[in-house]
């Protein structure tokens, strides 16, 4: 009699629904560096403390992550006033104050593959009214119970977003099409 009861109990344990896992909210910031080239010289810029919201769903090892953020265009700087004003004009900052960023729900195995390889992350950007998705490379991922951090790198083609880069000196100095973006992201689990 004991054996059938134990078998029934084991079977019920296997088919009974487990605890419901609710989505966790994380908040954080990202410090961003962007690098581009021109016919005269390369340039670099930054935007600091970009706020972001992250949602984590699922059980450890099988989680998915999604995120949103808005980058205020006028907080992007190359530390050169004329270049910054030209950049803000290219982004049409008087009409489009923000670059919108969305990371669609992405599985943990994509973000953190095995064997120490870098992960990937789809990043959907809306720049000056045009939306496109780029693939970012995730590296240096560190996570504890309450915090996480990682580096994210991806290229942005100005043409893909229908942006016309500024040119100076009658078109002699032109900006290259690809801008390399690197972000260091720091996250904190929101207390329930």
73: domain CATH number is 2.40.128.110
**Other Cβ atoms within 10 Å of 99 Cβ, number:** 21
Contacts of residue 49, Cβ cutoff 8 Å, sequence gap at least 6: 29, 30, 31
- Tokens standing for residue 99: 């670059």
In a domain, 3, yes or no: no
**Other Cβ atoms within 10 Å of 54 Cβ, number:** 21
In a domain, 124, yes or no: yes
Phi/psi-derived region of residue 79, left when phi > 0, alpha when psi is between -120 and 50, beta in every other case: left
E strand or H helix at 11? helix 2-15
pLDDT bracket for residue 113 (50, 70, 90): confident
Q: What is the pLDDT of residue 174?
A: 81
Residue 73 in 3-state DSSP? helix
In a domain, 121, yes or no: yes
Q: What is the pLDDT of residue 171?
A: 61
In a domain, 2, yes or no: no
pTM: 0.84
pLDDT tens by residue, 136-147? 999 999 999 899
Q: What is the pLDDT of residue 40?
A: 80
Q: What is the pLDDT of residue 13?
A: 33
* Residue among 55, 88, 56, 49 at smallest CA distance from 70: 49
Q: What percent of the chain has pLDDT over 90?
A: 70
User: What is the distance between the alpha carbons of residues 189 and 26, in angstroms, rounded to a whole number?
Assistant: 4
How many domains is the chain built from? 1
Comparing 9-18, 70-79, 101-110, 149-158, the range with the smallest average pLDDT is 9-18
In a domain, 155, yes or no: yes
**Other Cβ atoms within 10 Å of 55 Cβ, number:** 15
In a domain, 10, yes or no: no
User: What is the distance between the alpha carbons of residues 130 and 159, in angstroms, rounded to a whole number?
Assistant: 10
Residue 100 in 3-state DSSP? strand
In a domain, 177, yes or no: yes
In a domain, 168, yes or no: yes
Domain span at 184: 22-189
User: What is the distance between the alpha carbons of residues 122 and 73, in angstroms, rounded to a whole number?
Assistant: 21
- Tokens standing for residue 35: 């690098």
């Amino acid at each position: 009699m004991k054996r059938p009861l134990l078998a029934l109990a084991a079977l019920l344990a296997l088919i009974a629904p487990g605890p419901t896992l609710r989505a966790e909210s994380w908040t954080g910031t990202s410090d961003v560096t962007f690098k581009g080239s021109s016919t005269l010289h390369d340039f670099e810029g930054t935007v600091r403390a970009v706020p972001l919201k992250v949602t984590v769903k699922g059980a450890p090892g099988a989680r998915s992550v999604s995120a949103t953020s808005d980058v205020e265009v006028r907080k992007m700087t190359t530390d050169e006033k004329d270049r910054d004003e030209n950049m803000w004009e290219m982004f049409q900052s008087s009409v489009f104050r923000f670059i919108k960023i969305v990371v669609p729900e992405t599985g943990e195995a994509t973000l953190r593959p095995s064997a120490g390889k870098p992960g990937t992350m789809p990043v959907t950007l809306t720049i000056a009214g045009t939306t496109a998705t780029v693939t970012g490379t995730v590296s240096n991922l560190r996570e504890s119970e309450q915090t996480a951090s990682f580096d994210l790198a991806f290229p942005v083609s100005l043409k893909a977003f229908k942006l016309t880069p500024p040119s100076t000196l009658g078109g002699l100095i032109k900006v290259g099409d690809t801008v390399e973006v690197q972000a260091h992201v720091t996250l904190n689990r929101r207390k329930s």
